[in-house]
Chains A and B, each alone.
Chain A
Amino acid sequence: MSTLVASDLCFSFGDRPVLEDVRFDLAPGEVVGLIGPNGAGKSTLMKMFVRLLEPSTGSLLFDGKPLSGIPPGTLARQMAYLPQSQEIYWPLTAGKVVALGRIPHLAPWESLGPEDEEAIAEAMRATDTLHLAGRPVDQLAGGEQRLVLIARLLASAPSVILADEPVMGLDPCHELQVMELFRDLAVRKGKSVAVVLHNLTLAARFCDRIFLMHRGKILTAGAPDLVLREEYLRESYGIEARYGREKDGFYVIPWKRIGTI
């Protein structure tokens, strides 16, 4: 009973294949990491889950039903997506930006109710952004904007969270905070969380499973210690890594490049 199941997904931009026979699944209560070099197809895969792109072949099931059959409004209430790009076109206050996350829950003319306000405040509390609520977003630092956008994601109170590089531009403390938050949402609230990451240690420490993508394919998938192995990192990223172990997990540090692959 997985929440989101993708099988044999293919997609191409023109005649350049971007995804080939991708299999992916995401279940309630787990954090799944999507890693891989730039251009491997991670973001494209994410966009298919929220139907920003349609696969050319293959199937996408959400709770056993074809994703394409679910009305956009219904899907938006259950699935929230944080794109990689950080565009905020009008300088709304941070509080107003987070409130946009409630849109799927509101009727066209309905204004925010107490339940919405509570969801917004909770999301901002969890991301440490409550003190920014009244500030216009164009006056915030890049990392603060990222946190506000993550709060927006959480304010939707979705059962599935899809975040494309959520920790981009965050300082080490907030990186850890955001990953702990995702972990907590999965473990304590049973949410399904999928995150695109470039930080291998964060992936190793906070993900239950990792999908390593390379050139549009899933190179390997499974538990972090099985995926983040030397041979796979060499083949996909073309790097050599150093490993270390602590009581509560292991870390992976990219060490040097290996010629060309």
Chain B
Amino acid sequence: MKKNSAVLYAVLLAGLAGAFLFSLGIGEMKFSLAGALADWLSGRMSEAAVVFSEIRLPRAILAVLVGASLGLSGAAMQGLLRNPLAEPGVLGVTGGAALGAVLVFYAGGASVFGMALPLGGMAGAFVSVWALYFFAGLTAGVQTLILAGIALNTLAFAGTSLALNLSSNPYAALEIVFWQMGSLSDRSFEHVWLALPFVLAGWGLLLWNGRALDALTLGEETAASLGISLKALRRRLVWGTALAVGASVSVCGSIGFVGLVVPHLLRPWVGQEPGKLLKASALGGAILLLVADSAVRLIPSLNELKLGVVTSLVGAPFFIYLIMKMRRSLL
């Protein structure tokens, strides 16, 4: 078993490195990565070095941060709710972050300074966690949390629609719609630095829970009798997801299905263990998003395809396939 998981991590890490390099190599301009890297490191700002360091590198790094956040928090939510259909947005954090960003758009804040948008998203994510606790109470059980999450998502969706509805400027409305589709294009290191501390803090909170999630396999009563504090577990997972996913949505919009599909795909490879699934899903999510973001740039189209559109287009049929497979195993 130990050998198996070592092989799995080796494969995932190699995949991550490969997908990262591949992503760096894609773009309109062709240049040697090694040359650009050497130029950049020696401070010689050749054209290749500028494209590499200001466009490609932040884009690839963001793909890793966002993809890993989605995969990790998806695995964490599925473990917490003991439901393979849970995803990072189930508690309303994604909806809240999207609404926060949209409100900044609506108020015209995005044109005042570039970082207003992600900051608005982050504020939205935090407000949604407070609202979650306000609705569900500090000691809420899983069912209450899910219901409160549904309510919050509905509310956030209504708010977003209202902003679109009332928007006097059709271009602004279009921009909101496009932003919501999720994308990693035209992001800079500023975005990376903004998201990084929140994402890392979120990862820290989420990765801590492997053993507690393992214990939850036997239900809440057994987990509690094994010395696991369920209240602390829920608190860490809710805040961890809010930090990691909130920051992700804030810098690149909503990207669907990664957090749902990645844990699903990897679960059989970690012996179904929810604890081991956390790290594996983080790696898997990063790989998937790097690949999807590379595909977006490689598929020829009139407008650049939005990343969230592609992940949903690929993810939804895959999800349907999973459901059909599950249905067959139930029969």
Binding site for B on A (CB under 8 A): 47, 50-52, 72-77, 79-83, 85, 87-93, 96-97, 100-101, 103-104, 106, 108, 136, 149, 152, 156
Contacts and interface: CB of A to CB of B under 8 A. Distances in A.
A236 B243 CA distance: 55
B225 A149 contact: no
A50 B224 contact: yes
Contact of A103 (B228, B272, B273, B274): B228
Contacts of A108: 208, 211
Contacts of B221: 47, 52, 81, 83, 85
B224 A87 contact: no
B215 A80 contact: no
A77 B226 CA distance: 8
Given A72-B229, A100-B218, A92 B273 contact: yes
Contacts of B222: 81-83, 100
A76 B225 contact: yes
24 contacts: A50-B225, A72-B228, A75-B227, A76-B225, A76-B226, A76-B227, A80-B225, A81-B225, A83-B219, A85-B221, A87-B219, A88-B217, A89-B82, A90-B217, A90-B267, A91-B272, A96-B271, A97-B217, A100-B214, A100-B222, A103-B211, A103-B215, A103-B226, A103-B228
A9 B4 CA distance: 50
Contacts of A73: 227
Contacts of B229: 72
Nearest to A162: B225
Interface string B218-250: 110110111111000000000000000000000
B260 interface: no
A54 B63 CA distance: 47
B226 A100 contact: yes
A104 B226 contact: yes
B216 interface: yes
A32 B329 CA distance: 42
B228 A79 contact: no
**Interface of chain A, helix or strand or loop or mixed?**
mixed
Contact of A79 (B214, B217, B225, B273): B225
A200 B228 CA distance: 34
B227 A90 contact: no
A103 B227 contact: yes
Contacts of B218: 87-89, 97, 100, 149, 152
Given A90-B82, A90-B274, 20 more contacts: A47-B221, A50-B225, A51-B224, A72-B224, A73-B227, A79-B225, A83-B219, A83-B222, A83-B225, A88-B217, A89-B219, A90-B267, A90-B273, A93-B271, A96-B273, A100-B215, A100-B217, A103-B215, A108-B211, A136-B272
Q: Which of A82, A83, A103, A156 has the most C-beta atoms of chain B within 10 angstroms of its own C-beta?
A: A103
Contacts of A149: 218
Contacts of A76: 225-227
B227 A52 contact: no
B86 to A, nearest CB: 12
Contacts of B219: 83, 85, 87, 89
Contacts of B215: 100, 103
Nearest to B267: A90
A92 B273 CA distance: 7
B113 to A, nearest CB: 41
Contacts of B224: 50-52, 72
List 4 A-B pairs, minimum CB-CB distance, nearest first: A76-B227, A81-B225, A89-B82, A87-B219
Nearest to A95: B1
Contacts of A52: 221, 224-225
A102 B193 CA distance: 41
Contacts of B272: 90-92, 136
Q: Which one of B208, B221, B222, B267 has the highest number of Cβ atoms from chain A below 10 Å of its Cβ?
A: B222
A90 B79 CA distance: 9
A129 to B, nearest CB: 15
B273 A104 contact: no
Contacts of B225: 50, 52, 76, 79-81, 83
Contact of A77 (B227, B267, B271): B227
A52 B272 CA distance: 27
Contacts of B274: 90
A121 to B, nearest CB: 15
